[in-house]
Structure 1
Amino acid sequence: MENAGAALIREVASKTNDSAGDGTTTACVLAREIIKLGILSVTSGANPVSLKKGIDKTVQGLIEELERKARPVKGSGDIKAVASISAGNDELIGAMIADAIDKVGPDGVLSIESSSSFETTVDVEEGMEIDRGYISPQFVTNLEKSIVEFENARVLITDQKITSIKEIIPLLEQTTQLRCPLFIVAEDITGEALATLVVNKLRGIINVAAIKAPSFGERRKAVLQDIAIVTGAEYLAKDLGLLVENATVDQLGTARKITIHQTTTTLIADAASKDEIQARVAQLKKELSETDSIYDSEKLAERIAKLSGGVAVIKVGATTETELEDRQLRIEDAIKETIEDHDERLGADIIQKALQAPASLIANNAGVEGEVVIEKIKESEWEMGYNAMTDKYENLIESGVIDPAKVTRCALQNAASVSGMVLTTQAIVVEKPKPKPKVAEPAEGQLSV
């Protein structure tokens, strides 16, 4: 029973983290409070279905109000404030992320890696982001983060569908001898080819991962050519007779680092690709100036931005492994940020009370009476609140205590979703653990086996 409840709270945290990258603690605190108050109401005779309706309506209204109150992030000062809060009030991290975004633009790509020194720095390197994730989760190398991470990988780029393992055995053998990972971008990999790659990856025989080629039709060919230029690979186009089964290792490209998520892939290019990338950008800019199509203009501008923006690499340094891991996690959080009837009204009241829990908990943790803080906040104007760092009631936006609207929205939505399920569930099926048989104590002088 307890494990079922814990699993639901874990789901709240996981969904919030996946959506917004932060706000997991807020989501858990809200879920606990909504469930606690909801169960009290149901026990007192409230209709759980009407209660859930009231919760859902109130949350929807709150989200609409939140969107009206939210303001766009303007300038590096706002970016620094948001990132600092997400990183646990670390102003150095906030300043670093603001600097990184300033270098690559608001739509730029940010990447994190360990530094070889104690210093944490920001470097802009050639690279791009692809709007495709791994074909199979079995390719994942970092199970904790559910991502694929490759360094100094060879890259195969093709518009062909790979269905037979025979087509790529020569390349697999050559890259295995080179002791480097193989990253494949293809129209698709299915059947025997995919199954064999996965099995050999799981056995540790080869280090490989694949994604489907982005976009469609002629535009796909153009994007694949862009990726080929970034990695220095030869684009193996079927209509040119460049078949995968005839490919050699010399036709593969290289990437200093590749990070593949469920839906996106980040490539950091080898330094040797810089001149080719700049030439490609110049060519695309020329095409952009000559086209009359609005749609083509948008797509060309998008490709230019992906190629020319580069990747801001935040190299995290620390004196110990524990400090390094903590700092990387905080930087990751910061990056992901930048009723009608009585029972329905009761559901609204539950949300109103639950929303006080995070602020009350923060105040209590700071050694201040939470209820007193809540009352003062309720009497204050919008944007005024309690700053636990300074122990003052002040304009939180002016003080730089800013949370992304997405984080607050996701925390509230996910907490309400799981809480509503708990309140309308009448029974759960659990496996009762069987008592373990007692093991007889070994006689004196005998070994315990």
Structure 2
Amino acid sequence: MTKDGVTVAKEVELEDPYENMGAQMVREVASKTSDSAGDGTTTATVLAEGIYASGLKYVSAGANPVYIKRGIDKAVAAAVAELAKTSKKVSGREDVRQVATVSANWDEEIGNIIADAMDKVGKDGTITVEEAKSIETSLDVVEGMQFDKGYLSPYFVTNAETMDVALENALILIHEKKINNLNDLLPLLQMVSKVSKPLLIISEDVEGEALAALVVNKLRGTLNVCAVKAPGFGDRRKAMLEDIAILTGGRCITEDLGIKLENIQMEDLGKAKRVAVDKENTTIVEGAGKSTDIQARVKLIRRQIEETSSDYDREKLQERLAKLAGGVAVINVGAATEPEMKEKKARVEDALHATRAAVEEGISAGGGVALLRCAPAIEGVKLEGDEAIGAQIV
């Protein structure tokens, strides 16, 4: 049983193709709202229905739909600006806990765990949600790193429902340049397939016959593999790859080392207890790097932050420091049954997205009150003709 707007909308499938087209439009509204904000999907659905019904009435009466749409856009922009002006900033653990609790359908356990997670890794830290092997929901903070590059091919996914990749006890190739020659890659693939471990390839790019070979091996079940682009650009990319190498106990294969791809040995590969990859991000959890090497790297980055005179460089160095030293918070969601697990995990993910949005942009009064208070701002937008009708609809 759920009252989550996007969950309900996804389950609506109508026999009549024209009616289903309308349902699909509402599903899209709920889905986009869930992706961008993590919550408020029911409100977005109600607003979409109201705007659509009113708009259809005026279009049927002869109004121009293009001008109505422009009026709606201008009114929405005014409302959003007013919401931003009147929103209250979220600061401190208690505020975070309250927002997370409300977003999780008043589940205080989830609220407390999300507050603890954000407390430990910071508002920009990496927080992942996993299914627990017990009925208890718990929080673990482990050494790890996340960067904003996703899989190079959807054929790498291990879970078709969530469209993501999960690699357990993975080997990691960290390569500075592009990989497009299959012959260069073949010795490595043969070596990894003998030990029956999954492989993550991080490089500038993987293309052509090399990418095709990886996809074929994955589809045939010969090798559990995933390839992602390296984060960053230029010298910053090389530095970030070195960070990953130190975190995972591997070696960054660069031109400077003079090591060719076909000559790579097992000890050159990094290792991690778990790797999670989706369309946009790669998360490496519990790398096999030595803690002394990681701490030395952290000290080096801190010294570079102190010495640099560029605000931009300082910001990028601080991002690297957060990725290397901040760790990854893992929320393990436990439940007694599979349906309960899915429902609870969805609530945790919704609450996490909503809390991040609240920390970033603030919170407003609920129950439609904040939207009602935006009415004067919309009335202040001076429009004429059918554009004014669009604003009136909002």
Shorter-chain TM-score range: 0.7 to 0.9
**Pick aligned residue for 1:279 from 278, 284, 296:** 296
Identity %: 51
Report the aligned-residue RMSD: 1.9
Q: How does 1:11-410 map to 2 (within 5 A)?
A: 11-270=28-287, 273-338=290-355, 339-351=382-394
- Given that 1:126 and 1:311 are in contact with CA atoms closer than 8 Å, whether structure 2 keeps it comes out as yes
Distance in 1 between the 2:131 and 2:289 partners? 22
Displacement of 1:326: 1.4
- Given that 1:111 and 1:313 are in contact with CA atoms closer than 8 Å, whether structure 2 keeps it comes out as yes
Distance in 2 between the 1:325 and 1:273 partners? 36
Distance in 2 between the 1:126 and 1:8 partners? 42
Displacement of 1:221: 1.1
Distance in 2 between the 1:87 and 1:349 partners? 34
- Given that 2:136 and 2:335 are in contact with CA atoms closer than 8 Å, whether structure 1 keeps it comes out as yes
Corresponding letter in the other structure for 1:203:
R
Corresponding letter in the other structure for 1:157:
I
- Given that 2:39 and 2:354 are in contact with CA atoms closer than 8 Å, whether structure 1 keeps it comes out as yes
- Given that 2:54 and 2:393 are in contact with CA atoms closer than 8 Å, whether structure 1 keeps it comes out as yes
Distance in 1 between the 2:318 and 2:78 partners? 37
1:190-239, Cα deviation, whole Å (9 max, x unpaired): 11111221222223322111111111222211110000111111111122
- Given that 1:161 and 1:187 are in contact with CA atoms closer than 8 Å, whether structure 2 keeps it comes out as yes
Q: Secondary structure of the equivalent of 1:112?
A: strand
1:327-368, Cα deviation, whole Å (9 max, x unpaired): 1111111111225234333322322xxxxxxxxxxxxxxxxx
Distance in 1 between the 2:313 and 2:186 partners? 38
Displacement of 1:96: 0.7
Distance in 2 between the 1:199 and 1:27 partners? 42
Q: Secondary structure of the equivalent of 1:255?
A: strand
**Deviation larger for 35-44 or 153-162:** 35-44
Distance in 2 between the 1:137 and 1:70 partners? 39
1:408-434, Cα deviation, whole Å (9 max, x unpaired): xxxxxxxxxxxxxxxxxxxxxxxxxxx
Change (3 A) 1:242 1:97: same
1:60-94, Cα deviation, whole Å (9 max, x unpaired): 11111111112221111111122122222212111
Displacement of 1:186: 0.4
Change (3 A) 1:287 1:47: closer
Change (3 A) 1:97 1:153: same
- Given that 2:251 and 2:270 are in contact with CA atoms closer than 8 Å, whether structure 1 keeps it comes out as yes
Number of equivalenced pairs: 351
Distance in 2 between the 1:92 and 1:345 partners? 47
Displacement of 1:170: 2.0
Change (3 A) 1:143 1:21: farther
- Given that 1:126 and 1:274 are in contact with CA atoms closer than 8 Å, whether structure 2 keeps it comes out as no
Distance in 1 between the 2:328 and 2:290 partners? 14
Q: Secondary structure of the equivalent of 2:252?
A: coil
Which protein has the larger Cα radius of gyration, Structure 1 or Structure 2? 1
Q: Secondary structure of the equivalent of 1:229?
A: helix
